[in-house]
Amino acid sequence: MTAILSSTIISLLLYFQNYLLVLTYGSYGFISKKVPCACSICVTDRENSNWFSERYDPNIPLLLNSTNGVLHANVSRWWKELQSSAGNYTEVVDQLFPLFPDKKHYSDAGPDRCRTCAVVGNSGNLLGSNYGPLIDFHDFVMRTNKGPTEGYEKDVGSKTTHRIVYPESAVDLDNSTHLVLFPFKILDIQWLISAFTTRHITQTYTKVPSTIKANKDKVMILHPEFIRYVYDNWAERHDRYPSTGFLSLIFALHICDEVNVFGFGATSDGIWHHYFDKTLTSYEISVHAGRFENETINRLQQENKILMHKGWT
C-alpha cells in the first residue's frame, strides 16, 4: 500500500511540474500547436524558443554505427587534435560492429510517446535531497562516470539505465545498464574493444581497467560528430571540448521528451564537491568551459527545456 501511495504521489508531482511549465509557456504565448510527443511539454518542440531552435539539430548523428562511421573532414581534424597520439580511426571502427550492436537507437519518438529522462550528476547538493524515488520514476536514468548508488539510494536512487563513461572513469555495470562510451580520443574506442576481447590496454594517460563487467549487447559509442556539434552549437567553441556532464545533458535532449536534471551545480553554500567524497572540484579550472556550460544549462531551464532540481532549493 505504501509503495502504491508513493508511486501515485511521484506521478502527481511530475504531472504538476509539467502543468506549471505549461502555464509558464502560456503566460508568454509560447504554446505550440504541434504535438511532437505525449508529454505536457516536449523538448523537441522548437517553435517555442528561438534560442533553442538555433542550437538544436535533430539530424545530428548521436551514436556510431556501420552506416555513419565515416567522419567529415572538419570533424575528424578537430577530434584528432584533442588527442596526444591518434591511431588509425578507420581500422578501429571496422572492429567495432562485429563486436557491439550495429543498429539505430532512439528512433521511436512520436505523438503517443512521453520518454522521461533523469540526468544525474555527481554534485554534493544531492546529499539530503531525498530525490531517490523521484529519480527512479523516470524511464531513463542517466548517470555519469563513477557516481555510486549503493549507500546513497535515498538521495540518488538505485535505477541506472545508462552509465556514461570514458576509460578513465569506467566502472562495472549490471546486465541491464547501457554502457555509453564518450570517446574523446581514438584510444578510448581501442580500450573499449580491448576490454571485451584481449584486455591488453591498461594505460592511457593514467592507469585504466583492463576489462569491465558490462553487457556488450548494450554498449553504445557517442558519435564524434555529436561531440563537435555540442562544442560548436552549445558550448559555442569555448575552451577545448565539452565536459562529460554537459555532453550527457545535451545527449538527453536528443533521446528524451522530458528532461529532469539532478546533481548539477554547487551546494547551498557554494561548494563544489561530489556527493560520494569531499574532494573539492571547480568548473573554472579545467579544459572545459565550466562557467559557460553552467550559464547554458541555466538558460535551458529558463527556456523550459529542462527542469533543474538543486536539492537545497
Known catalytic residues are: 241, 288
Q: Is 15 annotated as a binding residue?
A: no
Q: By the 8 A CB rule, do 118 and 264 touch?
A: no
User: Cβ neighbours of residue 195 under 8 Å, at least 6 residues apart?
Assistant: 170, 201, 209, 210, 211, 212
- Of 219, 197, 220, the C-alpha closest to 210 is 197
Q: Which stretches of 152-245 are assigned E, i.e. beta strand? A: 162-165, 178-181, 219-221
Q: Is 147 annotated as a binding residue?
A: no
Q: Is 273 annotated as a binding residue?
A: no
Rounded to whole angstroms, the Cα distance separating 289 from 86 reads 24
User: Cβ neighbours of residue 218 under 8 Å, at least 6 residues apart?
Assistant: 101, 176, 177, 178, 179
- Of 227, 313, 222, the C-alpha closest to 262 is 313
Rounded to whole angstroms, the Cα distance separating 55 from 62 reads 15
Q: Is 265 annotated as a binding residue?
A: yes
Q: Is 68 annotated as a binding residue?
A: no
Enter the DSSP assignment of 217: G
Q: Is 301 annotated as a binding residue?
A: no
Q: Is 298 annotated as a binding residue?
A: no
User: Residues comprising the binding site?
Assistant: 83, 122, 145, 205, 241, 245, 265, 274, 288
User: Residues comprising the binding site for substrate?
Assistant: 83, 122, 145, 205, 241, 245, 265, 274, 288
